[in-house]
């Protein structure tokens, strides 16, 4: 059976890979094809990849201080920031609604609500259970303020673009001087990563645009929490940090997914092995 099984396995794998290859070529072919994306090293890639907490926290600061004037995070609530695996998770306050850091973030935003006594529409400070507010009341307002282009939701941006994190990084660092024979239309900016090379978003990042706050690292094994100095906010550093944060925003359960995946594989492997041995035992006296 050994050879027969190997044959079946190889043919099966070829079929599967062939099919998936076709599928992949099909998806890749609509990436626009005008530019090749440069692959970056990300800690969250690969089978064992995880998010870098400190980078995500800095990334949130970039979002709050830069991108949030135009882009929303439609699918996030403040409490999500304090979930297990999220940037601001704190084991002492596992309930995200009790997380002090996130409470403070939420309070920093004003949320439209209905006054419970008068029924009037009021603005109140946010609480962790609130969703991140929309930046523009509607698509028309968004387009009107941005030269006709709508700043897309960022909570799914790494999922909704072919190339994901690499693409986002390429957009943010893709602002260069246009070649001489390239005409950049009014209100657009030359960007090497954007389809057509003209984007209606001005370069959002520039060196030392913001100043990273130092952050606290929870002391492990009962040690005192201590402060860690933040890196200098270069364009490249901010781009990497916001990519880290937005990749998490698009795929918040990635770490759990990979962890459970590993356990599942281990289980299936042992299960397959036992079934194989049983199969061999059951068939040992049968010529086939």
Partner 1 sequence: MSGPSTYEPKYAAAKWMDKRLPIIRMGVDFMGFPSPRNLNYWYAFGGILSLCLMSQILTGIILAMHYTPHVDMAFDSVQRIRRDVPFGWLLQSMHAVGASMFFLAVYIHMFRGLFYGSYKAPRELLWIIGCAIYLAMMATGFLGYTLPWGQMSFWGATVITGFFGAIPFVGESLQQWLLGGYSVGNPTLQRFFSLHYLLPFVIAALVALHVWAVHHVGQNNPIGIDVKTKEDTLPFHPFYTMKDGFAIAVFLMIFALFVFYLPDALGHADNYQRADPMKTPPHIVPEWYFLPFYAILRAVPDKLLGIILMFGAIVVLFVLPWLDTAKVRSMRFRPTTRRFFYIFLFMCFILGWCGGNSPDDLAFTFGHKNVMVDGHEVSEAIGMTFKTLSRIGTIYYFGFFLFLLPVLGWIEKTKKLPDSITKAIHDGEA
Residues near ligand HEC (CB under 6 A) are 62, 66-67, 69-71, 146, 149, 151-152, 157, 161, 168, 171-172, 199-201, 204-205, 242
How far apart are CB 157 and ligand HEC at their closest, in Å? 5
Whole-number minimum distance, CB 214 to partner 1, in Å? Answer: 30
Q: What is the DSSP string of 15-69?
A: HHHHHHHHHHHHHHGGG-SSSPPPPPP-TT-STT----HHHHHHHHHHHHHTGGG
- CA separation for the pair 94, 84 (Å, rounded): 7
Nearer to ligand HEC among residue 71 and residue 79 (C-beta): 71
The entry of ligand HEC, partner 1, none near residue 29 (CB within 5 to 8 angstroms by kind) is partner 1
Q: What is the dihedral of CA 50, 55, 58, 62, to 10 degrees?
A: -80
Q: Which of residues 80 and 240 has its CB atom nearest to partner 1 in the complex?
A: 80
Report in angstroms the alpha-carbon separations of 280 from 2, 45, 158, 191, 260: 11, 39, 47, 61, 30
Out of ligand HEC, partner 1, none, which partner does residue 200 contact, by CB within 5 to 8 A per kind?
A: ligand HEC
6 binds partner 1 (CB under 8 A): no
Angle between the 164-172 and 235-250 helix axes, to the nearest 10 degrees?
A: 150
Of residues 153-212, which lie at the interface with partner 1 (CB under 8 A)? Answer: 156, 159-162, 164
Cα gap 48→85, rounded to integer Å: 14
- Point out which span in 28-36, 55-63, 221-229, 233-241 binds partner 1 (CB under 8 A): 28-36
Tell me the C-alpha distance between 69 and 142, whole Å: 11
Looking at the chain, how many residues does it have? 288
- Alpha-carbon distance of 89 to 95, in angstroms, equals 9
Residue 71 within binding range of partner 1, rule CB under 8 A: no
Site for partner 1 in 267-286 (CB under 8 A): 268-269, 271-272, 275-276, 278-279, 282-283, 286
Dihedral over alpha carbons 69, 71, 75, 79 (to 10 degrees): -30
Instruction: Give the footprint of partner 1 on this chain (CB under 8 A).
Output: 4-5, 8-9, 12, 15-16, 18-20, 22-27, 29-30, 32, 47, 74-75, 80, 152, 156, 159-162, 164, 250, 252-253, 256-258, 260-262, 264-265, 268-269, 271-272, 275-276, 278-279, 282-283, 286-288
């Amino acid at each position: 059976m050994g050879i027969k099984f190997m044959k079946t396995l190889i043919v099966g794998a070829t079929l599967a890979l062939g099919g998936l290859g076709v599928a992949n070529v099909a998806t890749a072919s609509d990436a626009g094809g005008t530019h090749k994306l440069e692959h970056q090293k990300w800690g969250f890639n690969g089978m064992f990849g995880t998010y870098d907490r400190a980078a995500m926290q800095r990334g949130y600061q970039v979002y709050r201080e830069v991108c949030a004037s135009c882009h929303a995070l439609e699918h996030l609530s403040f409490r999500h920031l304090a979930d297990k695996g999220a940037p601001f998770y704190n084991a002492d306050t596992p309930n995200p609604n009790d997380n002090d850091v996130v409470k403070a973030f939420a309070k920093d935003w004003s949320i439209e609500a209905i006054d419970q006594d008068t029924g009037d529409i009021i603005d109140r400070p946010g609480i962790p259970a609130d969703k991140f507010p929309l930046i523009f009341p509607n698509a028309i307002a968004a387009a009107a303020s941005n030269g006709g282009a709508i700043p897309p939701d960022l909570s799914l941006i790494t999922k909704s673009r072919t190339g994901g994190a690499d693409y986002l990084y390429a957009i943010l660092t893709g602002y260069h001087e246009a070649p001489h024979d390239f005409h950049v239309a009014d209100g657009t900016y030359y960007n090497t990563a954007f389809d057509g090379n003209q984007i209606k978003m001005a370069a959002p990042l520039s060196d030392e645009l913001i100043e990273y706050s130092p952050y606290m690292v929870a002391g492990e094994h009962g040690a005192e929490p201590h402060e860690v100095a933040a890196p200098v906010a270069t364009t490249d550093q901010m781009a990497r940090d916001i990519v880290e944060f937005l990749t998490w925003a698009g795929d918040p359960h990635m770490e759990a997914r990979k962890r459970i995946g590993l356990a599942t594989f281990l289980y299936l492997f042992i299960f397959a092995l036992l079934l194989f041995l049983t199969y061999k035992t059951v068939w040992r006296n049968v010529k086939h």
